[in-house]
Structures are given as C-alpha cells and as structure tokens.
Chain A
Amino acid sequence: MTEMLPVLAVFLPMLGGVLVFLLGCGPRNAWSVLTVMLSLTPSLLLVQQVAAVGTVEHHLGGWAPPLGIRLMADGLSALMILLTAVVGGLVSMHALGHFAERANAARNFWVLWPLLWGSLNALFLSADLFNAYVTLELVTLAAIPLVLLAGSAQAVNAALRYLILALFGSMLYLAGVALVYGLIGTLDMQLAAERLSGAGWVLDLAAALMVTGLLVKAAIVPFHLWLPDAHGGAPAPVSALLSALVVKAAVYLLLRLWSGPLFEPLSQPAAAWLLAGLGVAAILYGSVQALRQRRLKLVVAYSTVAQLGYMLLLFPMAGLLAWQGVIYHGVAHGVAKAALFLAAGNILYQLGHDRIVDMRGSGSVLAISFGCFALAGVSIMGLPPSGGFLAKWLLLQGSLQAGAWWLALVILAGGLLAAGYVFRVLRAAFQVPDPDAEEKLPEVRHIGAMMRWPMLLLALTAIGLGFAGEPLLTLLGDVPGRLG
C-alpha cells in the first residue's frame, strides 16, 4: 500500500476531476468535496511516509527504468506536495464559497483544479527529464483554462499570451532534453547526474535551453510579461493557486536540475551569476512595479514576479544554507501569497472594486480581510515572526558565508521595497475619509465563513511557518546530489 502512495497522489486527484466532469459538482458540492478528500489523503499520507522512512520510490506498472517511469518522493518532493496540499486544501474551501453563485464556473473549476493538483504532484514526483516535461505541460494545460474562469476578454488575451509563451518554453526545455539524451542515452535524473560530468559545450547548450525554457514558464524577468495580467485578472482562488503553486513548479524543476544533472553547467561562475543577476533584476523590477500599481490584485501579482527572483539567488551561493533558504522561501511565499490573493479577492468582492486610492477608510469595516493581508504581508516583507523571515535569514547567512555580500544587500533592499508596497495598501486602509469631501464609508458586501476562514488560516500559517523551520527543514534533508 505505502509504495502505491505516489501513484495515488497523482491519479486520485485526476480521478476526482474526471468524476466532476461526468457528474457535476453534485448536490451541495458533494463531488467537489469528495475530490478534495481524494486529493488530500494520499498527499498527506505520502508526506508522512517520507518523513518516517525517507525517500519513497515507485516504478509505474512494475517496469524498471530506463524503460519504465520512476516516481520518486524525496524530502524536496514531500515538502512541495505538502505545500500543495495545504494551500490547495484551503484554497479549495475558499473556492466553494467563491463560486457559490456561478454554477458553470464552479463546475469548470472543479474539473480543472483537481487535474492541476494531480499534475503538480506528478511533476514533484517525476524522476526523469522527459516525464518532467510531460507533467510540466499537464500543469500548464490545466492552469491556463483556469485563468479563463474570469470570463472577460482580458482574461482570454492573458491566457493566450501565457499559452504561447509556455508552449515555447516547453519546446526549449524539450530541445535541451534531446541533447542530454543524445549525450548519454538516458533520461533518468539520477543516472544522468552520474554520467554527465565533463560533457563540454553540448551539455552547456542543453542546460541553456532547458533553463531558458523553465525561466519562461516561471515568469522570471524578462519573461514575466504574461504573469501580471493572468494572475491579476483571474478569479481570486485561481490567482492564489497560480502564484503559490504553478510558477513554483517550474522553479522547482530548475532547483531539481541544479541539484542533479545540470549541476556542473549551472555551477560555472558565469552561469550562476547570470541566473542570480536575473533574480536580482526580478526582485528590483517586480517590487518597483508593485509599488506603482493602482489595483490591489496587480500589486500582489507583481509581488510574485519579485518574490520568485529570490529563488534564483541560490546558484552563486551554492551551499546548504542557501538551498534550505531558497526552498523555505518557496514554501513561505506559497502560503503567504495564497493568503494575499484570497484577502485581495475578498476585499474586491466586499468593496466591488480593488482600486487602492478608493479604499480610504475601509480598514475598520474590512478589518479581517486587511488584517489577513497584513499578516501575510509580514511574511512577504521577510519580517519576523514569519516563514518569510526564516527564509531571509537563511539566505542572508548563506550569502555572507559564500562571500556574496552584495546579494545580502539585494535581499535586504527587496525586503524594504516589499514593505513599501504592503504598507501602501495598509495606509489606504488606515486613512480616514476626507471629512470635507463628505465621503461616506463604503457599502460592503458580507463574506461568509467559507471565504473568511481559509484566508485567515493561510495568513496564520504564513506567520506560523516562522516557528516551523526545524521540522520542515528536517523533512527536506540535505542537498540531494553532488553537493550533499
């Protein structure tokens, strides 16, 4: 049973999606809730299994590699699956409330989201390069239609842009995989990592192709153009899933490749610093853009552009602390960003708009939504106590130990810029309406418990991650591959 868990974690969510496709959401969302249960259970059991015994492997259909497909859950996979389960579970709950009045959108959501969930798990469990390509495509193809649930013409434009770039990105990745296969005749990441040393310029080219493809998918500057429209325009639960999990999936694969087959090409100083340079550009550009946006959801979307940049700072530091810091950053950002998008979505729902200037004085009537925004914001700013702070601590220490002190300065500057855009929103909430203009406090719509609690729980989790470093990093374990 336990060795079946990786398979179940992939296929049970997909089964749920098919179920809803055939039967609809069911009376009082029964099938939707069942789908969430089907998705959560194997994920959590698998994480528990990895925590208990270490790496879990499964050969699909009993076929051993190189012919068969190997699913493998190590500490990193388990952590990502756990993140997906926690964020996915809570966002699902929010979605039940969010789509309550839109039956058609609800049905589409409950078909697509479980498929996305299964695909994400499949990606995190993939142990060979080609399988990673297939699952990454599945993630993209399940994620893009979710953007369309907003139903607007703008969403269509954003989705199409996203699709074309994503398709191009995966073709680049595939071209790189082809080169690697041509070099060593295997796709298995572990075998490739062993055989690929000293392969010269062909490997460098392959690495360049694969990494560029992934950067496009991860919306790293300068490939970020599609992200703000797509994430800012989608319905709140979708934005939360896209920002917290989907872009993270591409970065995950990048980290996986660094710790395995592409360690050598990506460890060359030029490559490492180029990637880190892109990360720095992303942090600075994304933050400055976030500071300039007028709409709340766009602020949050640009914040994602900035936050993803931190994950690229790993390459020149290349040590255990940086590895832990980058992954903890991914987890903390996932939780906090989901909370931010749900809060922004609730504020939009309650006020009927998300223009920051017109939020004046709404802080006292929307106390819970803004409170959650603030709590999650603490983590995004990297201030204690929060998961974002622990990640920042690890990254700072990693950068100083690697002698890359100017990366430390960038990390600190990024935190201050983040404080700029988070507090800009809070300032609007705290400011009282101008008494001369006789502005009235806005009329607000009420949100139900289903939309309030997931946001609150995610925000509290973002803070709670500030105390959970020890167990989670123990689950993560050492850097897999050569550095470890």
Chain B
Amino acid sequence: MAGLDVYALAAAVLMGLGFHGLVTQPHPLKRLLAVNVFGNGVFLALIVLARRLPDGPDPIPHAMVLTGIVIAVSATAFGLALVRRQAQDRERGDD
C-alpha cells in the first residue's frame, strides 16, 4: 500500500469534509454536494491505490473510478432534478 502521502491525506480530508457536511447540513442540495465531496475522496483514494504496482499504474482502479464517476454523476443529476422539483412544489404551496 502507498504510504501516507499528500494524495492519501487529501482523500481522507475530502471524505471527512463530505461526511461532516452530510451530517450537519439540513438542506438537500448541500447534502447532495456533501455526498459528492465524500465520493471524490473515495475516488482519489482509489487512484492512490493504482500506484501499487512497481512498473506503472494499475488500470483496474482507474476503470473503477471511471465507472464510479459515471454512476455518481447520473445519481447526482437525478438528485438535482428532485431538489428542483421540491423547490417547485414549495413555490406552488406558497401561492
């Protein structure tokens, strides 16, 4: 495994920030963003792991990150649509 370097540290910080946001933020939009920050931490950790082979990066974690990003993007898009719908519902309720 990679030692404690700046990338691993950054990954851990991102995860911590994301988790903090998820627990403390009440607004769904911020919570959605927080989950994304957390996810980026996980992806970064995977990229760090790709250095495990002595000669050049391991492609499998990269493939995993790509897949993960695709999933996270689509899920986030769906989440954003829901947030918007929620806001519209609320506006209609205010009228």
Contacts and interface: CB of A to CB of B under 8 A. Distances in A.
Contacts of B83: 160
Nearest to B36: A167
Given A171-B39, A171-B42, A160 B49 contact: no
A145 B78 CA distance: 9
Contacts of B42: 171, 174-175, 178
A243 B90 CA distance: 29
Contacts of A133: 68
A153 B32 CA distance: 19
A349 interface: no
B71 interface: yes
Contacts of B57: none
Given A153-B93, A156-B89, A168-B38, A178 B49 contact: yes
Chain A, interface SS category? helix
Contact of A137 (B64, B71, B86, B93): B71
Interface in B57-78: 58, 60-61, 64, 67-68, 71-72, 74-76, 78
Given A168-B35, A175-B15, A141 B75 contact: yes
A163 B22 contact: no
Chain B, interface SS category? helix
B1 interface: yes
B64 A167 contact: no
Contact of A157 (B38, B67, B86): B86
A175 B42 CA distance: 5
A164 B31 contact: yes
Given A141-B75, A167-B72, A178-B61, A160 B86 contact: yes
A66 B64 CA distance: 13
Interface string A158-173: 0111011001101100
Contacts of B16: none
Contacts of B64: 130, 174, 177-178, 181
B6 to A, nearest CB: 17
B39 A167 contact: yes
Nearest to B42: A175
Nearest to B43: A174
B75 A174 contact: no
B89 A163 contact: no
Nearest to B45: A178
A174 B74 contact: no
B52 A164 contact: no
| Interface-centre pick from B28, B31, B46, B82 (highest chain A CB count, 10 A) | B82
B35 A171 contact: yes
A153 B86 contact: yes
Contacts of A168: 22, 35, 38
A163 B82 contact: yes
A185 interface: yes
B67 A181 contact: no
Contact of A134 (B35, B49, B71, B90): B71
A160 B88 CA distance: 14
B45 to A, nearest CB: 5
| Interface-centre pick from A153, A157, A164, A167 (highest chain B CB count, 10 A) | A167
Contacts of A182: 1, 49, 52
Interface in A163-215: 163-164, 167-168, 170-171, 174-175, 177-178, 181-183, 185, 187, 202
19 contacts: A137-B71, A141-B75, A144-B78, A156-B85, A156-B86, A160-B86, A161-B28, A163-B75, A167-B72, A168-B22, A171-B42, A174-B42, A174-B64, A174-B68, A175-B15, A181-B46, A181-B49, A181-B60, A185-B58
Interface of B: 1, 15, 22, 28, 31-32, 35, 38-39, 42, 45-46, 49, 52, 58, 60-61, 64, 67-68, 71-72, 74-76, 78-79, 82-83, 85-86, 89-90, 93
Interface of A: 66, 130, 133-134, 137, 140-141, 144-145, 153, 156-157, 159-161, 163-164, 167-168, 170-171, 174-175, 177-178, 181-183, 185, 187, 202
Given A164-B22, A174-B64, A202-B1, 17 more contacts: A134-B71, A137-B71, A141-B71, A153-B89, A153-B90, A164-B35, A167-B32, A167-B35, A167-B72, A168-B35, A168-B38, A171-B42, A174-B42, A174-B68, A175-B15, A181-B49, A183-B1
